[in-house]
Structure 1
Amino acid sequence: MEYLNGIAPADAMVHVLLERRAAETPEATFFSFGDGVHTLGDFNAASNRLARNLETFGITTGTHVAVLMETSVDYLCLWLALSKLGAVEIPINTAFRGDLLKHVLATCEATVCILDDKFTDVFRAVYPEGAPFELVFCRSGDAVAPAGVFRDFRSLLDPADDSDLRKPLQHDAIASIIFTSGTTGPSKGVMLSHHYLCAYGLMYAEINGLQDDDVILNFLPFFHIAAKFLTIATLACGGRMRLQPRLSISTFWDEVRAHRVTNFVGVGGICNMLISRPENPDDANSTIRTIYAVPDPADIHREIERRFGCKLTTVYGSTEVGLPLFRGVHDAYRPGSCGRISPYCDVQIVDQNDQPLGVGETGEIVVRPKRPFLIGSGYVSMPDRTISAWRNLWLHSGDRGHFDADGWYYFDDRATDSIRRRGENISSFEVELLVAKHPAVAEAVAVATPSEVGEDEVWVLVLLRENHTLLPEDLLRHCSLHMPYFMIPRFIDIVDDLPRTSTAKVEKYKIRATGRSACTWDREAAGWTVTRHGVFPPGSWDASRAGDVPVPLGGAPARATDQGDIYRQHTC
C-alpha cells in the first residue's frame, strides 16, 4: 500500500527519506544555513558518521536522548543520526529552566543528554553532577576536559564509516517525544512514532502542493514539531530548505528574495506583522507561492494574498492529533474556517458525553485516524492522562469547535485551560505554580487575555498572604528567575478576592468575561522590556549592546518596524 506522496507505511521514517534522496541525487542541495550549503550526499554521510560514533557510547535502538540545543547544522545532523539508530530524540525547549526543566527531564525517561555549552549552567543547576544521566555531551568550542558523566560533543564528530547503517527499525516504534502545554497540569510529553512524525511532514507537503522546485523557509525551533515537519516535507517533495535560527521581520523579504523562498509557516502573529509594515510596490515581486497560516487571519486574508501574490493554506492540528482539518492550496476559501476533514482522519464535534453534535452546535473536537499510526502514541510516563485523552476510541483535543452545512469546520475556543502566545502553548497551571513560589503570594490565577497582534497575552491575578505586600515589578523579577521569558506575564493584578464556585473553585470564565480593568498593571505601558536575556526596567534596555531585540508586544509594536529578530526559539 502506498499513500502520502507515494511513501509506503513501512518506509515512512525521516532517515529513510534522506537516504533515498541522497542515493538518487547526492549532489543536490538539501538545505542552506548561514553561508553554508549542504548537499544530500554530504549531509547523509555526516549523519551516518555521527550515528556510528553515538553507537560506540552505547546509544542505540530505544535509548532516550534529551536534546537541549538551538538550531544548528549539528542539531539537524544529530536528529537524523538518532533516527538512524532508532534512539528516541527528546527535544527540550531552550527557554526552560529550574522546576520546568527538571519536570521535563525527569518525565521523559532519558538516560543521555546532549546540550549546547550555553545551557550547561542551566542544566547543572538542576543536575549538578549530571546524575541520573549516564552521559551528558556538551557542545562547545572550548578545550575543557569533561568530568564525570560529562563528555565533549566533538568526540561524536570523529571520523567514522559514513555508509548507511541499515538498522532493521520498525516504523511504529517511538522516534521522538515532544512536550506540549499541560493546560490543567504539568507539561506532557507526546510520544511520536517514526511513521506519525514522517506523515506529519508528508501531509504538510500535500496541503501546500509542494514540488521539487520549492524552497521552504524554516526558522522554527526543533523542540517544536513544526521545524521537523518542514524538514520532512523538504525531503518528501524533493525541494530545498533555507534554515535559520530565528525569524527577522525587518530582513524577511530580503531573505526570501535572496534564497528564492516559496513557502513558510505563518504561525502566531507573523502574518499580522508582515502586513502591518508599510506597503512596498515590490511586495508582490517575490517567489512566495504559499503561506501556511495558523491561524488564518480572516480580517487580512485577502489583503495578504493580494499584496504578496500568494495563496494562504491553513489547518487545525496539534502535536497529538496531527492535521485532521485543513484547507489546501487547491481548496476554496471559507472565511474563519480551519478547513474540511482530511481523507486520512475522522473528526466529530461531541458533547460532554461524547455524543456527536449537529450543524452549528459547538462541542469538543475529537479525532481518530483512518490508517494506523497517524496520531500520537500517548503521553510518556503519564498512562492516566493517555487513557483520559484517548477515551471511547477518539483522541480528545480539549478544543471546542463547530461545522457548517457544507462541511467546513471552525475553531471556537479552548476547552482546556491553556494560553496561546506567539505560537507557544503555555500551561496556566505551570504559570500559577511558578508565580506561587513567591513568598508573598497565597494564590495565583493565570488566564488568557487578547493580544493586539493576535492570540493571547498572559494575565496573572494574585492573592497575597496575610500581612504581606508585593509590587507588580517585584513579581515580574521573580517570574524572570523561574520561568521561560515567553511565559512571563504581561498583565498583573493584585486582588483581594476571586470569583468562586460553591466548592471554592476559581471561575476563570468570569475573569475572562469581565476582562482587565484600568487598574491592571501592564508591564509594557510601564516601560519594562522582556527578551530572552531577561527582564529590563524602564530605560535599561540597550538592544544594540545586547545583540537582541524585545519580543514585539502590544500597541504600536504590533506594526513590526526595523526591530530585527522577532521570533526566537519559542515559536511553534
Structure 2
Amino acid sequence: MYLTQSLHRAVQQGPDQVATVFGDRVRTNRDVAGRVARLAGALRALGVEVGDRVALLAHNSDVFHEYMYAVWWVGGAVNPVNTRWSVKEMAYSLGESDTRVLLVDDAFAPLVAQLRELWDGLDAVVYCGSGPVPEGMAGYEELIAGHEPVEDLRLGGDRLAGLFYTGGTTGFPKGVMLSHANILASAHSLIVSVQSSVRGGRAMHCAPMFHLAALASWCGQTLVGGSHLFMPGFEPGAVLKAIGERRPTSTMLVPAMIQLLVDHPSVGDHDLSSVERFSYGASPISETLLTRAMTVFPRAEFAQGYGMTEMAPGVAALAPEDHRDPPLLRAAGRAIAGVDVRVVDPGDVEVPRGTVGEVVARGANMMLGYWNKPEETADALRGGWMHTGDAGYMDEDGYLYIVDRLKDMIVTGGENVYSAEVENALATHPAIASSAVIGVPDPTWGERVHAVIVLKPGHTTTPDDIRAHCKTLIAGYKAPRTCDFVDTMPLSPAGKILKRDLRKPHWNTTTRSVG
C-alpha cells in the first residue's frame, strides 16, 4: 500500500479528467502527474532523501495536492504546519522534526526570517505564492519547470508518510508518526463504513488541510476517483458561491461551519443540490441544526466522524441512517470497519455497557508513535491500544458516547486546545497569581476557551489584555475568549483545582458535559 498509487490509477483510467480546481486554475490528472514527477525531481535536487521531512506552511490550494504526492514520490514524509500557530510553535515543530525544506505561500512568506532565526536548520525555502519570488527562496513554478521528471519510488506500507503535530498536555506539540498503511487503512474504513466520498465525485476542501480530518477527506476522494476543489479557507459566502458554481459532491466541516452556512443571508441565492455527503466532526450536531441543514442541502446525507490524529484519524462514525434517529445525534457513532473500540477502567479492563471509562482503540490505522517521544508513545499505546484520553460509555448497540475529556482538551471550532498550554501562557502574565482554563459552551464554536483567574494582590488587568498577552505566546484560537476573576479556586484535598466545579455552572443546562 503506497499513497501515490491513487495518482497512477487516476492517470491510467482518466488522464484528461479534471483532478484539481483552485480559483480559475483547473488541472487534469495528466497535468498533475507530470508536475508531481518534476516537483519530486526538484525536491531531490534540494537534498530530500528517503525518510526526510518536507513541510508546507500555506493556506489550502492545489499546491497541497502536488506537494503531498511529490514528497511521497521521493520517499519523504509530509509535515504540514498548522497555519494558526504562533511563529514559535511553527519553529518548534520544524526544529523538533529536523525539517530541512519548507514550502510557503504569500500569507506566510513574511514569517520566514523569524522562522530561520528560531530554527537555523532550514536548507531551502520554496515560495509557492503568486507574486515575485522573495530573495533567498526558490520559486515553486521555476523548480517544476527547471527539473526533469523522476520515477516514483513507490515506497509505502509501514514507512513514515507524515508527521502531524498535535497539541501536547505539557504545552509542546507532539509529532504523530503515520505510515502509508495507517492513512490508507483509515480512508478505506471510512469509505466502507459511511461512504464518506462519492465515487467519481468532487470533494470540496475548505477546512484546513493540515488537519487529519481534511487530509482523510482528500485521501478518500483520491481512492474512489474524481476531483478536488480547494478553497483557501472557510468563508461562508465564498463556500456557498463555490458550491453553486463548481458543484462539489462532498465536503468535510465542523458543525460550527454548517451553522454559518445555513445562517448566511445569501444561502437561498445558490443551487446547493450537488452536495451528496456532509462529513463533520469535533462535536455532535444538534437536531435543530441538522433539520435546517437537511432543508438547505436537500440531497445531502450527513455522517459524523469521531477520531484523533493518532488514529489517522478514524475511530467511530455516526452513519447517515443514524441521523434519522434523533436520540442517536448525541452519539459519537460506532466503531468503523477494521477498528476495535473499547471502554476501559484505569486497569485497562473493559467496563460493562453504559459505564463511563476511557475510550481506547486499535487497528491498522493506529499511529507508529510520537516522534522522538518513546515514553509518551509507550504510555499512549500501552497494551497495544491507543488510549484516547476521552471518557465515554458504550450502549448495548455499540454506539459510543463521549462525556468528558480526561486530558482537559477543549475543542473550539474544530481546533484542539489543551488547557495546560494556555495555563502556561497565563502564568507569565505579571498580574496573574493562578489560573484554570476550561471549555464552556459556545453557540458558534461549540466550545470556547475560558479562563478562571486569581489576581495577585494589588494588581488589575482586563480580559482583552489577557487575551493579547496570550496571543504573543500561543496561537490566537488558544487564547481565552472570556475570563472570570475569582478570589479563590475550588480545591481538592490534594490541593488540585477542581475543574469540574468550575465547569458545572456553564454546562448544567446542557445534556452533555463537553462540546
Q: Any conservation in 2 of the 1:204–1:230 contact (CA below 8 Å)?
A: no
Query: 3-state DSSP class of the match of 1:74?
Result: helix
Change beyond 3 A, Cα 1:426–1:132: same
Query: 3-state DSSP class of the match of 1:127?
Result: helix
* 2:9 paired with 1:15: no
Number of residue pairs matched? 499
How far the C-alpha of 1:472 sits from its partner, in A, is: 2.5
The one-letter amino acid of 2:162's match is S
Other-structure match for 2:239: 252
Change beyond 3 A, Cα 1:110–1:279: closer
Distance across 1 between alignment mates of 2:141 and 2:27? 20
Other-structure match for 2:277: 290
Query: 3-state DSSP class of the match of 2:404?
Result: strand
How far the C-alpha of 1:128 sits from its partner, in A, is: 2.1
Other-structure match for 1:355: 349
* 2:304 paired with 1:318: no
Q: Any conservation in 2 of the 1:440–1:465 contact (CA below 8 Å)?
A: yes
Query: 3-state DSSP class of the match of 2:117?
Result: coil
How far the C-alpha of 1:271 sits from its partner, in A, is: 2.5
2:29 to 12, 35, 40: 40
Other-structure match for 1:114: 103
* 2:443 paired with 1:452: yes
Distance across 1 between alignment mates of 2:239 and 2:135? 41
Change beyond 3 A, Cα 1:185–1:249: same
The one-letter amino acid of 1:439's match is P
Change beyond 3 A, Cα 1:456–1:27: same
Q: Any conservation in 2 of the 1:440–1:464 contact (CA below 8 Å)?
A: yes
How far the C-alpha of 1:435 sits from its partner, in A, is: 2.3
Q: Any conservation in 1 of the 2:207–2:253 contact (CA below 8 Å)?
A: no
User: Once the two structures are superposed, what CA deviation does each residue of 1:225-259 show, in whole Å capped at 9, x if it has no partner?
Assistant: 12322222221111222111112212433321212
Query: 3-state DSSP class of the match of 2:65?
Result: helix
Asked which structure has the greater RCO (Cα within 8 Å, sep 6+), the reply is 1
Other-structure match for 1:415: 406
The one-letter amino acid of 1:250's match is G
Change beyond 3 A, Cα 1:166–1:256: same
How far the C-alpha of 1:504 sits from its partner, in A, is: 2.5
Instruction: Please say which of residues 324-333 and 41-50 is displaced more in the overlay.
Output: 324-333
Query: 3-state DSSP class of the match of 2:221?
Result: helix
The one-letter amino acid of 1:286's match is S
* 2:119 paired with 1:125: no
Distance across 1 between alignment mates of 2:273 and 2:191? 21
Change beyond 3 A, Cα 1:302–1:183: farther
Distance across 2 between alignment mates of 1:407 and 1:144? 55
Runs of 5+ unmatched residues, structure 1: 1-9, 517-572
1:464 to 441, 455, 470: 455
Distance across 1 between alignment mates of 2:51 and 2:214? 23
Distance across 2 between alignment mates of 1:251 and 1:511? 39
The one-letter amino acid of 1:136's match is V
Task: Considering fraction of residues, name the structure with more helix.
Answer: 2
The one-letter amino acid of 2:41's match is R
The one-letter amino acid of 1:95's match is R
1:53 to 23, 42, 50: 42
Q: Any conservation in 2 of the 1:186–1:427 contact (CA below 8 Å)?
A: no
Other-structure match for 1:68: 57
Other-structure match for 2:163: 177
Query: 3-state DSSP class of the match of 1:335?
Result: helix
The one-letter amino acid of 2:307's match is G
Change beyond 3 A, Cα 1:99–1:441: farther
How far the C-alpha of 1:392 sits from its partner, in A, is: 1.7
User: Once the two structures are superposed, what CA deviation does each residue of 1:523-565 show, in whole Å capped at 9, x if it has no partner?
Assistant: xxxxxxxxxxxxxxxxxxxxxxxxxxxxxxxxxxxxxxxxxxx
Instruction: Please say which of residues 290-299 and 121-130 is displaced more in the overlay.
Output: 121-130
Change beyond 3 A, Cα 1:326–1:62: same
How far the C-alpha of 1:296 sits from its partner, in A, is: 3.9
Distance across 2 between alignment mates of 1:481 and 1:383? 31
Query: 3-state DSSP class of the match of 2:287?
Result: coil
Distance across 2 between alignment mates of 1:299 and 1:211? 25
State how 1:128-143 maps to structure 2 within 5 Å. 128=117, 131-139=120-128, 141-143=131-133
Query: 3-state DSSP class of the match of 1:65?
Result: strand
How far the C-alpha of 1:514 sits from its partner, in A, is: 3.5
Distance across 2 between alignment mates of 1:95 and 1:327? 29
TM-score normalised by the chain length of structure 1: 0.81
Runs of 5+ unmatched residues, structure 2: 508-515
1:222 to 209, 212, 224: 209
Other-structure match for 1:105: 94
How far the C-alpha of 1:357 sits from its partner, in A, is: 1.1
Distance across 1 between alignment mates of 2:55 and 2:310? 20
User: Once the two structures are superposed, what CA deviation does each residue of 1:202-236 show, in whole Å capped at 9, x if it has no partner?
Assistant: 33433226343422111122211123222222211
The percentage of aligned residue pairs carrying the same residue is 26
Q: Any conservation in 1 of the 2:127–2:133 contact (CA below 8 Å)?
A: no
* 2:282 paired with 1:305: no
Other-structure match for 2:476: 485
Q: Any conservation in 1 of the 2:59–2:233 contact (CA below 8 Å)?
A: no
Q: Any conservation in 2 of the 1:268–1:421 contact (CA below 8 Å)?
A: no
Q: Any conservation in 2 of the 1:184–1:418 contact (CA below 8 Å)?
A: no
Change beyond 3 A, Cα 1:335–1:72: closer
How far the C-alpha of 1:130 sits from its partner, in A, is: 5.3
1:474 to 440, 443, 465: 465
Q: Any conservation in 2 of the 1:68–1:91 contact (CA below 8 Å)?
A: yes
Task: Tell me the C-alpha RMSD between the 2 structures.
Answer: 2.6
